[in-house]
Amino acid sequence: MPATAESVSPLIITAALTGAEVTREQQPALPITPDEIAEAAAECAAAGAAMVHVHARLPDGSSTQDPRVYAEIIAKVRARCDVIVQVSTGGAVGMTAQERIAPVRLGPEMATLSMGSVNFGEDVFLNTPADMRHFLDTMRAEGVMPEFEIFDSGMLSTLNRWVKRGIVAPSPLHVDLVLGVAGGMPASPAALLFLVGNLPAGATWSVAGIGASQLSLGTLAIQLDGHVRVGFEDNIFFRKGELATSNAQLVSRIARIAAEHDRPLATPEQARRILRILN
């Protein structure tokens, strides 16, 4: 039976534009400066993205959590388009919690909150329980909605524990399932189905598949009524052996696949309502 307009929830596409690890050498179209990031955000918005996940870089391409750079990015994105701007508190591995939380004090609409530690390639992405609580408390104080980042099933167990203990309410609660990090859960349909089946009741979710799984897991999320994150942070290729030409190219492809599945795209305003962003 074809889906009815009432039964289909609009798809929120998030564009993770830059990340902390990808270099210009790997992806020549990587947006680095605030102007480049704002331009990429506007292109992605035009292609159907309702949200951008941003990391800041210094002019030499190195990662920074300097709130002045984030402030410039947020102002420039807002001047170009209406997408939800979600800042990273993950930053780059090795940064202190103090550095990582700094952009949240700018009061963006959303910020990420990783729910535990994970090996990250040859590094460790460290998120102690104390730091996680500090991030949550700071977001609350600033009126910033967290997006809980789940790289492994233990992180989802921790989030469920927080819900059970009343540390976070089960709704509104938005989760991003990041699959395929070397050290985290695999980017398999089985892993996605397991995590989705164990989310707190009422949670909204997106998937961020790393590498080639950006396409396959994104397509599955469209079918499962989830939301999708694409972009250079997670994947620099359009297909095997062919670099993507822009973040917007990746957004456009997911938008086309959503259209084939009769899944309308959420505008930024609809996304705010779906996620119940209160800021």
Coil, helix or strand at residue 132: helix
Residues 63-102 that bind ligand KMH (CB under 6 A): 88-90, 92-93
Q: Which residue is nearest to Zn ion (CB)?
A: 88
Q: Which of 86, 88, 114, 235 binds Zn ion (CB under 5 A)?
A: 88
Least separation, in Å, of the C-beta of 100 and ligand KMH? 8
125 binds, among Zn ion, ligand KMH, none (CB under 5 to 8 A by kind): ligand KMH
- The gap from C-alpha 251 to its chain's centroid, in whole angstroms, comes to 13
- Of residues 275, 232, 265, 262, the one with CA closest to residue 36: 232
> Taking CB under 5 A as the rule, does residue 63 contact Zn ion?
no
Tokens encoding 203: 């949670």
Which CB atom, from 63 or from 88, has the smaller least distance to Zn ion? 88
Q: Which stretch binds Zn ion (CB under 5 A): 37-45, 83-91, 182-190, 197-205?
A: 83-91
93 binds, among Zn ion, ligand KMH, none (CB under 5 to 8 A by kind): ligand KMH
Q: Are the beta carbons of 112 and 86 closer than 8 angstroms?
A: yes
CA distance 213 to 22: 17
124, β-bridge pairs: 119
- Of residues 121, 187, 184, the one with CA closest to residue 153: 184
> Taking CB under 6 A as the rule, does residue 114 contact ligand KMH?
yes
Q: Which of 18, 64, 65, 112 binds ligand KMH (CB under 6 A)?
A: 112
Based on DSSP, count helices (H) and strands (E) in the chain, helices before strands. Answer: 9, 14
CA distance 130 to 68: 26
Q: Are the beta carbons of 248 and 47 closer than 8 angstroms?
A: yes
- The gap from C-alpha 165 to its chain's centroid, in whole angstroms, comes to 26
Which CB atom, from 110 or from 258, has the smaller least distance to ligand KMH? 110
Q: Per-residue x/- marks for ligand KMH, 129-168, CB under 6 A?
A: --------------------x-------------------
- The gap from C-alpha 73 to its chain's centroid, in whole angstroms, comes to 16
User: Phi and psi (nearest 5°) for 224?
Assistant: -90, 5
Q: Which of 11, 20, 56, 187 binds ligand KMH (CB under 6 A)?
A: 20
Which CB atom, from 88 or from 138, has the smaller least distance to Zn ion? 88
> Taking CB under 6 A as the rule, does residue 120 contact ligand KMH?
yes
Which residues contact ligand KMH by CB under 6 A? 19-21, 88-90, 92-93, 112, 114, 120, 125, 149
Which residues contact Zn ion by CB under 5 A? 88, 90
